[in-house]
A and B are shown apart, each in its own frame.
Chain A
Amino acid sequence: MSDYNFAYLDEQTKRMIRRAILKGLAIPGYQVPFASREMPMPYGWGTGGVQVSAATLTPDDTLKVIDQGADDTTNAVSIRKFFERTAGVATTEETGEADVIQTRHRIPEAALREDQILVYQVPIPEPLRFLEPRETETRKMHALEEYGLMHVKLYEDISQHGAIATSYAYPVKVEGRYVMDPSPIPKFDNPKMEMAAIQLFGAGREQRIYAVPPYTKIVSLDFEDYPFEASKADHACDLCGSEHSYLDEVILDDKGGRMFVCSDTDYCRSRRAEGYVGRLGTENELEASA
């Protein structure tokens, strides 16, 4: 018997958040204000995502939490423990097993299903913020669909770097209407956003929730002569050999040694379990570590 109300938040708060989520789903890409609560973790550690997850979870759900694709980093471990303690829900590291997946900065490599929900942690929900600091003005720009400014940012990228150098939090247009910040996921993940699962975005400090319903059209902004490219490191995973997953670069020593590994730890583990081996992987490492 836990002393917490199910999933920490009181029922009224969860209803309020669910209303915001429903409104967000009804207007894809629109930032719905909500009364963000103080959570027992600092802003910037996923307070928005946690509140959305808390309002979405049911006692029968299985939760997965990832941080930069990994299940075993601080942020992911602490949020998973938080819900184990306050909601008593089952948790998993396997993407296919989860009903609700809370994520920071990645979309899992495995395709998600219609009965799954992906919850993003969002630091700054307003894609126009760094170009236009006034909230009154950015709201007006969204309302009137004045998105020329977003292309000014991409123009600046090309003029300075010769290509669109924005590599994460790459702005997208949702269903031909709202321009949306997909949270700081790598632009490699942008094409995956047209998916079967529901995508919910929570920004705790900025008090905004937005959502993308299943199979919604998501277009990454670009120029005719500089089209969008989903980029990743030009390597294969050194552990599982995958050539189609997003990679982290790991520095091994002071002599320039480095390796590339899948940022999605569950994807990498499941591939190695199936017998794939990369450049630095070993045949029996799973048994060795077990």
Chain B
Amino acid sequence: MTPLLQVRDIRKTYGSFVGCTDVSFDLYPGEVMGIVGESGSGKSTLLNCLAGHLPPDQGEVVFDTLADGPVDTVTMSEPERRMLSRTDWAFVHQHARDGLRMSVSAGGNIGERLMAVGDRHYGNIRERAVDWLGRVEIKEERVDDRPTAFSGGMQQRLQIARNLVTGPRLVFMDEPTGGLDVSVQARLLDLLRGLVREMGLSAIIVTHDLAVVRLLADRLMVMKDGHVVETGLTDQVLDDPQHAYTQLLVSSVLQV
């Protein structure tokens, strides 16, 4: 089986400061990979390099495209990369405000990607927007409300709907549950898990919340100071951490 994403030796520095370095891994279709680490460990830098938001200083990010097979997205032309990022890729921001158009209605937010890939039939767009609102548990009658009128959890669910409407194969998530209270978090995680299973999505989830990766991720990568210090199956890493930092991370989780 061809990996959906092959990451080779990614390095990104900010001047003399290392953002992330020596990162390599393969992601297979249907697999969910978690990246954990403390603030400043380079996990968001890595995610942005993978998603094409930041140009890495070196390395390859090879994505298995539907049309041409495996292609290095770092060296592909910008129009192609932007096309990928609104069809086969999705990016869920930590702050829903970064990923939504706050002055456009919920339906318009969901419809934007459809219109960006050429859908010009209002009825169809509307129908799919309403369908997706239902799938992320937002009531149909709120389709014409702006996200400014939504709660934090609803905004995050709307952002997910907006991203998944074009049926992407790879989803990048940056702290998707950050800033939400625990009960809302639990519902969101439940929803995400359902969608990932149902749509057979591959995903890369960056978070500092070990509970999130425990629930969602098949595999785990632990980062510290820009380096990957430990990788493995999620349960294995969390139950039997080998690296000192991972041990610290796991033991730092508050037990209620």
Physical interaction between A and B: yes
Which stretch (A9-17, A89-97, A153-161, A202-210) binds chain B? A153-161
Binary B-proximity of A137-166 (CB < 8 A = 1, otherwise 0) = 000000010101101100110111000000
- Tell me if A149 and B112 are in contact (CB < 8 A): yes
Are A152 and B112 in contact, CB atoms less than 8 angstroms apart? yes
Q: CA of A225 to CA of B126 in the docked complex: distance in angstroms?
A: 12
Q: Is B78 an interface residue (CB 8 A)?
A: yes
Partner of B115, one of A144, A155, A158, A225: A155
B104 touches A225 (CB 8 A): no
B104:A131 contact, CB within 8 angstroms: yes
Complex Cα spacing A266 to B177, Å: 64
| In the A-B complex, the 7 residue pairs with the closest CB atoms | A148-B116, A151-B115, A148-B115, A223-B122, A224-B121, A144-B79, A152-B108
The residues of A with any CB-CB pair to B shorter than 8 Å are 131, 144, 146, 148-149, 151-152, 155-156, 158-160, 222-226
Interchain CB contact under 8 A, B112 and A146: no
**Contacts A131-B104, A144-B79, A159-B144 given; does A223 touch B112 at CB 8 Å:** no
Sample of 4 further A-B pairs with CB below 8 A, known A152-B112, A223-B120:
A148-B112, A148-B116, A222-B120, A226-B122
The digit string for B156-182, where 1 denotes a CB below 8 A from any CB of A, is 000000000000000000000000000
Residues of B within 8 A of A (CB): 78-79, 82, 86, 101, 103-105, 107-108, 111-113, 115-118, 120-123, 125-126, 143-144
**Is A224 touching B105 in the complex (CB atoms < 8 A)?**
no
Give the contacting residue for A159; candidates B101, B112, B143; CB below 8 A.
B143
Give the residues in chain B near A158, CB-CB below 8 Å: 122
In the complex, what's the smallest C-beta–C-beta distance from B194 to chain A, in angstroms? 28
* Min CB gap B149→A, angstroms: 14
Q: Which residue of B lies closest to A224 (CB)?
A: B121
Alpha-carbon distance between A98 and B136 when the two chains are bound, in angstroms: 61
Closest Cβ of chain A to B23, distance in Å, is 28
- Expressed in whole angstroms, the minimum distance between the Cβ of B1 and any Cβ of chain A is 33
Residue of B nearest to A159 (CB): B144
CB of A148 within 8 A of CB of B105, answer no
Contacts of B120 in A (CB 8 A): 151, 222-224
Task: Give the CA-CA distance A224 to B111 in the complex, in Å.
Answer: 15
Task: Write the chain A residue with the least CB distance to B121.
Answer: A224
